[in-house]
Structure 1
Amino acid sequence: MPVHDTPSPLLAVSGDVLIAADRPDYAYAPRRTPPRRRPGRFSPYRRLFATPGARAFTAGNFLARLPMGMFSVSAVMMIAGSRGSYALAGAVVATGLAVTAVVAPWTARLVDRHGQARVAVPATAVAVLGSLALLLCVRHGAPDWTLFAAYAATATTPNTGGMSRARWAHLFRDDPAARHTANSFEQAADELCFMLGPVAAAFLCTALFPEAGTLTGAVLMMTGVLVFAAQRATEPPTTPRTPGARSPVRLPGMPALLAVFLATGAVFGSMEVVTLAFADGAGHGAMAGPVLALQAAGSCAAGLLYGSARPARHAHRRLLVCVAAMTALMFLPLVAASTGSLAAVAAALLPAGAATATAPTMVTGMTLLQGVVPAARLNEGMTLAVTALLGGIAAGSAAGGWLAEHVTPAAGYGAPVASAAVALLLCAALTGTTKAPTS
């Protein structure tokens, strides 16, 4: 057999280059390396829910939180339909809100001191019994005072959103970027619940029977809290009360921060009432719900996008920028309303909603609050913020309603502009009064 004296090519590896020992025509052949995948826009959220137990407690919390947007609408439709008085229905709901403002911080303090599962489950059971008592009183024609007493019992409802935020803060106590993403997700979840809740309540009360919204809300809330409380592995540890410890409301910077939440709530409350009045005045009252949903959708989308972005380093500067943007965008509905077109107002509410109460402004406000309030009182501090927000909603609703009735519905959009401007001034006053956390 002939002997082949041509050797087979030998390849030597040097770095990322293959060098052929005897073939100069392909002396350099670059090694193929797989391309690096760029992280997606929502990678921070995937990382968030990769945490063991996160999906389970989030699912339970969502079930428990959805009725928050159902109960007031369900109560109004149930009482007004049975007693023929929207004034009575509104008074009952307003009384429940006032009692909640007093009771909720105490419930949150018990949660911080004794644990979420030990307090949230019995507190929710009392609230559910109050809702069912209201249903029975309406159904069987009980005296009006029983409606007030029954609805006041629902004030023990725990702040499920605050408990969820406290879990994220515990899980990512050493990761500010993850906490920013978690706060953004929670705000988007709040907005989604308050967007879907009234729609679900109105559908149930009209398609089935007047009490269906209240009954469904009670079942969902009790089920959700039981699922949430069962996830003990992610529950923050309890801290015994320290003698002489100050209430969160007395901490440096907290009063000014709560004032910002109060003014921001006024933006949201006045916008809602004025839009209802404007749609009714334009002869399209049935379209008020979908129009307001556009504002909520803009806020929800902005919250999710804000959470996926890398935040600026100083939380106080972020809050100032967010409130300034909110103030500027509040002029859009005011200008659109001057045209008299509901379609123009609807188009303006979408971008305006991207900066209003429950989007970047609230996300950053909660981040600042977590830097002010110690971990042992965090749920109480966040409940105080929600209470301030609800107080602002009530005040804004009254101011917007007065303007819409005594001036014009279009002029009523001046109320959210004024409220946003007050929030901006208060935010500027926060400089030097809070410990601004960095990300």
Structure 2
Amino acid sequence: MRAYRELFAVPGVRSLAVAAVATRIAAPMLTLALFLAVVDAGRSYAVAGLVLTGFAAALALSVPVSARLVDRLAPRRILLGWSAAHLTAYAVLILALATGSSIGVLVTCAVALGASAPPAGPVVRATWPAFVPSHRLQTAFALDGVVNEAMYVTGPLLVSLLLLFVGPIVVVGVAGLVMLVGILLLVRTPSVRPRATAERRNYLGPLSTGQVRLLLVMIVCDAFAFGAVVVAAPAAAAEADSPGAAGLLVGAVSLGTVLSALVYGTRPRATSLGRQLVLFHAVSALVVAGVSLAPTLLVLGLALLAVGLVGGPRDTLHQLALGEAAPTQYRTEAYAWMGSAMWVGYALGSGAAGQLISLAGDDVDVAFVAAGGVTALAALLSPLVRSTRESAVAEGAQA
């Protein structure tokens, strides 16, 4: 792990990593705690799902807006201002839950909470290239991916632990406090500086760049596959009369992602981004589709572990490629659109998997095959990806 030791030796990396952990764990804590708090308030699971949908939709739509303001103005000012609004939305939502407010009020409060979420994730990702040497970026983004994946496992576990002592409404408040701590740590990171620029801007921002649009489409495809797997794996467990294995199956994907990203972060960048993306997407497509051939739950778990092992390096490459493709003045917004693309792909994949399984008479294999097919589409697009460094070399050769 020499690469990670050298990365943490860079001034500011430790504080940025801690800020990333705090801000990333808040979201999975909130989603589970909010779901349980709505049910605990006497509402149905359908209402709880509607509240979470309102929160997620507002979050996906609003973060690119706040990230654009970060690119144009002082990041610290935007983060602190959005955090103040976010804490207010937390307080109003908790009050609405405690007083038994109507469904409309709860959904509205959840939408306000999502709309006011600070763009912490995009700021962290956009900050890595600002102070980490270029030869350490692969390690930095691998670490970022590991933190992101690990927090989605750790967050629900922390909620379960807290529920032994307090009610779900209190845990919702704890999630808000964790986010606040993360933001305060982030704004104190020396590398989070104003990025205002005098360069001419346009309304499309990073979406005006073809390479950014291409990468976002590929990210939607990969998130689609993950969403389909998250639905199909529990369905397979239920079909095998082992519903308790659902969490283990989904966890196998996360475990594989964390392990492979950690290892990939220690490796030198040997080939071009495009070639690596082709390789990992092609292998991912074959592995995901091949999951449908698993004869037992044990084999299915091993196959899903393999899906994660391929996904870790691929997701790291996405961050590297997007950072190189996005113009500097739009970098934070580009990473915000990456998050939105992941939410969109996940929603499409989980929804499509549920419909396909139902139409196929509860045959879960069709969902895995569909997920593999969508990942194959990303593999076909991968050769079109060219990094800034590779483009410069090509232009030099032509000159």
TM-score, scaled to structure 2: 0.91
| Contact 1:314-1:437 within 8 A present in 2 as well | no
Partner SS for 1:288:
helix
| Contact 1:166-1:378 within 8 A present in 2 as well | yes
Partner of 2:381: 426
Q: How does 1:359-374 map to 2 (within 5 A)?
A: 359-374=312-327
Counterpart code for 2:276: R
Partner of 2:371: 416
| Contact 1:295-1:349 within 8 A present in 2 as well | yes
Across the two proteins, how many residue pairs are aligned to each other? 387
Partner of 2:343: 390
Counterpart code for 2:337: L
| Contact 1:134-1:150 within 8 A present in 2 as well | yes
Counterpart code for 1:421: A
Partner of 1:216: 174
Distance 2:353 2:198 in 1: 42
Partner of 1:106: 65
Match 1:239 to one of 196, 211, 221: 196
Superposition deviation, residue 188 in structure 1? 0.9
Match 2:230 to one of 259, 264, 272: 272
5+ residue gaps in structure 2? 394-399
Q: How does 1:179-328 map to 2 (within 5 A)?
A: 179-205=137-163, 208-231=166-189, 233-240=190-197, 242-245=199-202, 247-328=205-286
For the aligned residue pairs, the C-alpha RMSD in angstroms reads 2.0
Match 2:24 to one of 65, 70, 75: 65
Superposition deviation, residue 436 in structure 1? 4.6
* Structure of greater Rg: 1
Distance 1:122 1:409 in 2: 49
5+ residue gaps in structure 1? 1-41
Partner of 2:354: 401
- Is 1:92 aligned with 2:51? yes
Superposition deviation, residue 204 in structure 1? 3.2
Match 2:136 to one of 178, 183, 193: 178
Partner SS for 2:210:
coil
Distance 2:88 2:230 in 1: 30
After superposition, the Cα gap between the structure-2 partners of 1:322 and 1:437, relative to the gap in structure 1 and judged at 3 Å, is: farther
Distance 2:13 2:175 in 1: 24
Superposition deviation, residue 244 in structure 1? 4.2
After superposition, the Cα gap between the structure-2 partners of 1:418 and 1:80, relative to the gap in structure 1 and judged at 3 Å, is: farther
Distance 2:159 2:244 in 1: 15
Superposition deviation, residue 391 in structure 1? 0.4
Counterpart code for 2:241: G
After superposition, the Cα gap between the structure-2 partners of 1:437 and 1:360, relative to the gap in structure 1 and judged at 3 Å, is: farther
| Contact 1:75-1:214 within 8 A present in 2 as well | yes
Distance 1:216 1:425 in 2: 44
Q: How does 1:12-91 map to 2 (within 5 A)?
A: 42-91=1-50
Counterpart code for 2:222: T
Superposition deviation, residue 183 in structure 1? 0.8
Q: Deviations over 1:234-265 (max 9, x none)?
A: 22441236344451011122222110011111
Distance 2:313 2:280 in 1: 6
Partner SS for 1:355:
helix
Distance 1:437 1:409 in 2: 46
- Is 1:160 aligned with 2:120? yes
| Contact 1:274-1:409 within 8 A present in 2 as well | no
Q: Deviations over 1:22-46 (max 9, x none)?
A: xxxxxxxxxxxxxxxxxxxx11111
After superposition, the Cα gap between the structure-2 partners of 1:178 and 1:272, relative to the gap in structure 1 and judged at 3 Å, is: same
| Contact 1:261-1:389 within 8 A present in 2 as well | yes
Counterpart code for 2:217: A
Higher relative CO (CA 8 A, sep ≥ 6), structure 1 or 2? 2
Counterpart code for 2:90: S
